[in-house]
Structure 1
Amino acid sequence: MVGPPPAVAAVRRAARHWLAGHPQPEVTVAVSGGADSLALCSAVLFEARDDVVVHGVTIDHGLQDGSAQRAADVRDWMAAAGCVTARAIGVDVGIAGGPEGAARAARYGALSVARHGDVLLGHTLDDQAETVLLGLGRGSGPRSLRGMAAYDPPWGRPLLGVRRAQTRDYCAALGIAAWDDPHNADPRFTRVRLRTEALPLLEDILGGGVAGALARTAEQLRETDLEADADAICALLGAELDPRQLARFSDPTRRAVVKRWLDARLGGFTAAAHVEAVDALIARYHGQGPVYLPGGSRVVRERGRIRHAPADSAGRAAPRAPQR
């Protein structure tokens, strides 16, 4: 059986992973009409099926001739594609923060009001690289170099591991007509010059891979910053974990807490597979049994708590505490 084209598979896989990691009854996809957001909306609709209600919103900034008609066209596409609701919302763009900043503030403000559940945005790995490079150039410090988070409630970015070229290939493969915003080629905007001049030059000088390296740098800095947070959270939680409390954290923060908690109980570094399995007891629980760990101990979820059952003297998991 022949599968979908590679770009279609990659975008759908990213959408599937995000939805599985952040289960909720409904989400809103922000769709501009460009390839990134169209591919995201299409993939989310494909992966959500009947499990998640998908809403679509497009924002008309009113900054270009014909923008109202384009917004209406995007709204019609979202409805035809399967969004339960599809809305085109006009906004007034101010002047504070410059053209890019003002448009962003107006857009995010409208999405915050219109959303159902979390809002999914079509930012890609290339957008992440541009964000990190912009932070470097401005000397904005480590927080800026962390780039954009895959999940910063209520904002979700499922495509941060997907290249911009892949979203274009996705749309081409499925016959989705994407709109090329002329602002994305206007050298008056800093991001456009980073995209069209600075990054290609760096790729040429360094022999390629710069965008991926910048995105990895952001992820590494984000994970490093989580370490202190994870230590503090573990100190507050104590010997047992409360899955309801932990489920509110982002995926990276929650997994960092689980790893710290397991490291303290196993006396060493915990394998990623065990962290993922215990994390599933918290964020993707559907009645699964214990997670067995090296040395014979196990982690169980019972009576609304996550607890570690150490091994007995024979290396077997100790029996559960009597239920009262």
Structure 2
Amino acid sequence: MEHPEFMQIRRAVRRSLATLRATDTGDPLALVGLSGGADSLALAAAVAAEAGKAGVRAGALVVDHGLQTGSDRVAEAAAAQARELGLAPVVVRRVEVASAGGPEAAAREARYAAFSAVATEVGAAAVLTAHTRDDQAEQVLLALARGSGTRSIAGIPGRRPLAAGVELVRPLLGDDPEISRATTEAACAELGLSPWHDPHNRDTSYARVRVRETVLPTLADELGPGAVAGLARSADLAREDADALDDWAGRVVDVLLLPAGADRLSCKLQQTQGTGDDPDGSAAQRWRIDAEGVAVLGGLPAAVRQRAIHRLARERFGVTLTREHTLRIAALVTHWAGQGPVFVPGIRVTRAGGELTFEPQRGSPRGAHSRQAAR
């Protein structure tokens, strides 16, 4: 019997397993993150069918969030299906979902913590999850509604580090073949598998469910059936742009971090020397961009300049800045009119003599500004 939809999923899985095998010269173990829903069940079946040919061992990990009555029975049923498919080991892990914050975010944090812990315990090289192109389209719409940047609009990454030596892989996110939720449901029907239907996926108190149940169907009705696929392709394009811009900004920062006199761009970030008037040692963490470097920053495209500032703050001060913060710092470069220091969380940035100085900011910015003026 032919299984055309299932074969599309196998094709997507085959590519991911081949990549995993190529990067692991041993006998890699991949765990499927299995909820029992159509997406993860179809993925589990495809991994079971392809793993041996790819030279990969395949198991499953079922996370019981404990958020619904009978969740333990649902988890055990999913584990039983994994064993029937031939996956081993099959691990069921109960987690505690924090009450603080949104329930979706808390459940996701608990789930990925379990992925990381179990993968490390059993020596897995990867955890595979079943996000599809529909999930990608939902992510793009949610990012657009928040006014997020290119990186957020790029959506869910196809793979990323999960823990030391463990990668999180999403085989069904690629554009060739394009795997939708309809594909996974059809594949389960072809194979005679009975997926679990999570009632939370129908709860319209969640923004993602409203996007899935109302917004995307309306877009498809009004703009045509290709609208959802178009959103997922937008994520692909945005990711390419974001990767390129991040790489450019990273190379700029690498040059900024060169010692004076290095034979590359003249934009140099140099650690200033401590002085006697530095009881807390903060001078050892002060960094400056010289006048030539400020000129280089001013000539960069805004997207690269903002990314470079954001990266500098994260790497040198452990601070994650918002767009508002990076723009305020960038104004010292692009709209210099003799203004005083810029204070952002954890950092004070000052321009003087054509140079920018970055240093830690502790306590009240008002007090820090007064002390600086008194020097």
Q: Give, in whole Å, the separation in 1 of the partners of 2:42 and 2:245.
A: 36
Determine whether 1:29 maps to 2:32.
yes
Determine whether 1:42 maps to 2:45.
yes
Q: Please, which runs of 5 or more residues in structure 2 have no aligned partner?
A: 162-166, 255-375
- Matched residue, 1:130: 138
Could you say if the C-alpha distance between residues 209 and 57 of structure 1 is closer, same or farther in structure 2, counting changes exceeding 3 Å? same
TM-score w.r.t. length of structure 2:
0.60
Paired residue type of 2:50: E
Q: Which secondary structure state, in structure 1, belongs to the residue aligned with residue 96 of structure 2?
A: coil
- Give the C-alpha shift of residue 229 in structure 1: 5.4
- Give the C-alpha shift of residue 231 in structure 1: 6.2
Determine whether 1:11 maps to 2:9.
yes
Determine whether 1:158 maps to 2:171.
yes
Looking at CA atoms only, which structure, 1 or 2, has the larger radius of gyration?
2
- Give the C-alpha shift of residue 101 in structure 1: 0.6
Q: Which secondary structure state, in structure 2, belongs to the residue aligned with residue 220 of structure 1?
A: helix
User: Alignment partner for residue 143 of structure 1, among 148, 151, 164?
Assistant: 151
RCO comparison, higher one (Cα < 8 Å, 6+): 1
Determine whether 1:181 maps to 2:198.
yes
Q: Give, in whole Å, the separation in 1 of the partners of 2:150 and 2:227.
A: 19
Determine whether 1:64 maps to 2:68.
yes
- Matched residue, 1:96: 100
Determine whether 1:210 maps to 2:227.
yes
Q: How does 1:277-296 map to 2 (within 5 A)?
A: none
Confirm or deny: 8 A CA contact 2:154 2:235 kept in the other structure. Answer: yes
Determine whether 1:86 maps to 2:90.
yes
Q: Give, in whole Å, the separation in 1 of the partners of 2:41 and 2:181.
A: 12
Determine whether 1:194 maps to 2:202.
no
Paired residue type of 2:170: R
Determine whether 1:219 maps to 2:217.
no
Q: Which secondary structure state, in structure 2, belongs to the residue aligned with residue 197 of structure 1?
A: helix
Q: Which secondary structure state, in structure 2, belongs to the residue aligned with residue 44 of structure 1?
A: helix
Q: Which secondary structure state, in structure 1, belongs to the residue aligned with residue 215 of structure 2?
A: helix
Q: Give, in whole Å, the separation in 1 of the partners of 2:108 and 2:100.
A: 11
Confirm or deny: 8 A CA contact 2:150 2:241 kept in the other structure. Answer: no
TM-score w.r.t. length of structure 1:
0.69
Q: Give, in whole Å, the separation in 2 of the partners of 1:88 and 1:70.
A: 11
- Percent identity at matched positions? 44
Paired residue type of 1:205: E
Q: Give, in whole Å, the separation in 2 of the partners of 1:209 and 1:96.
A: 38
Q: Which secondary structure state, in structure 1, belongs to the residue aligned with residue 93 of structure 2?
A: strand
Paired residue type of 2:158: A
- 1:131-186 residue CA offsets vs partner (Å, 9 max, x unmatched): 01000011122111010111112211101130100100100000111000011011
Paired residue type of 1:15: V
Q: Give, in whole Å, the separation in 2 of the partners of 1:88 and 1:69.
A: 11
Paired residue type of 1:158: P
Q: Which secondary structure state, in structure 2, belongs to the residue aligned with residue 159 of structure 1?
A: helix
Q: Which secondary structure state, in structure 2, belongs to the residue aligned with residue 49 of structure 1?
A: helix
- 1:175-213 residue CA offsets vs partner (Å, 9 max, x unmatched): 111000011011111111000101111111212211111
Q: Give, in whole Å, the separation in 2 of the partners of 1:14 and 1:219.
A: 16
Paired residue type of 2:40: S
Q: Give, in whole Å, the separation in 2 of the partners of 1:16 and 1:122.
A: 14
Q: Give, in whole Å, the separation in 1 of the partners of 2:230 and 2:137.
A: 8
Bigger mean CA deviation after superposition, 45-54 or 168-177: 45-54
- Give the C-alpha shift of residue 22 in structure 1: 2.7
Paired residue type of 1:149: P
Confirm or deny: 8 A CA contact 2:33 2:60 kept in the other structure. Answer: yes
Q: How does 1:268-283 map to 2 (within 5 A)?
A: none
Q: Give, in whole Å, the separation in 1 of the partners of 2:111 and 2:158.
A: 19
Q: Give, in whole Å, the separation in 2 of the partners of 1:55 and 1:233.
A: 37
